Structure 1
């Protein structure tokens, strides 16, 4: 007697069908979990006092974080040839020693994973509030390279970890449609480099 006569072919076909259709689902779940692993919860604080009140850092640590953010803003923030161009896209701007205009940072990001031991080596990314009327990015918080992290006013944000990485030093001024076009390009390419500006 052949052993194959005892095999239920219909049952095998159903099982094979189930495994085939479950594979995309399993892959989708794995991709979602991998995506979550790339996200980090961050706080956006507007001052040293806000930092002390809403993070686990003490006043000395918040002061150090604020100074680092200021230095990063000077090094990487968007730069404009004139005040009018800067204030078209941001509420408040200041002139630097080199004669270009930069928006004042709205605040800075602090990763929730930081602790008392590693805050000295932490990276505190300055953020800016985009205020150009009628823009799809109006009232959004952006990093220095145009990465949009969310709507202004929230206490915490879930961001891609790449948003916390140091940005390249900026030596050129904003052009080609302004800073909003940089954010638009980055959004279209899924947060990749826009090529719109930078040093």
Structure 2
């Protein structure tokens, strides 16, 4: 009897098995980092053979790239959704952060996976990470351009500086949140609303 080409192991369809491996590997890479995570560790956690992981993903780097692709899409889709919901300026920024907190609540390992400094700086995983970063920066540029345009600021260097500043703020807030697991998504949304609101109010008073 010949096996079905899309069959996985023990009757599990290949697509489902791949998804399970990526889920397990994402947790491992996010928790321990790329350098400290082995394919054998992932296989053991998933209850499969190391050979099966290699047959699906080719290498540890290929598995890592698949994890990054899923993680990047998870965040990018949410940020794109906010970008199209009609919000603008500061409101769009707060909504973006709220969406990120919500989608990552309960799976903060995804953020650590995306920010892993032990990950390869070249190869397939780096290419995936680069595409994700470019996708996010494009959305940030769009939001900043709209915000500064409302204030009459159109200088390209001003826009570029503000994009980097905003991305740095997002990274810092997410890093802080991941380091404080007792803080839920709703608490963080209220916190950034207060903090950004205070900054905007102060600027308005000074203006």
- Place the TM-score, normalised by the shorter chain, in its bin: under 0.3
Q: TM-score, normalised by structure 2?
A: 0.25
Higher helix share goes to which structure? 2
> Of the two, which has the highest radius of gyration?
1
Q: Which structure is higher in strand share?
A: 1
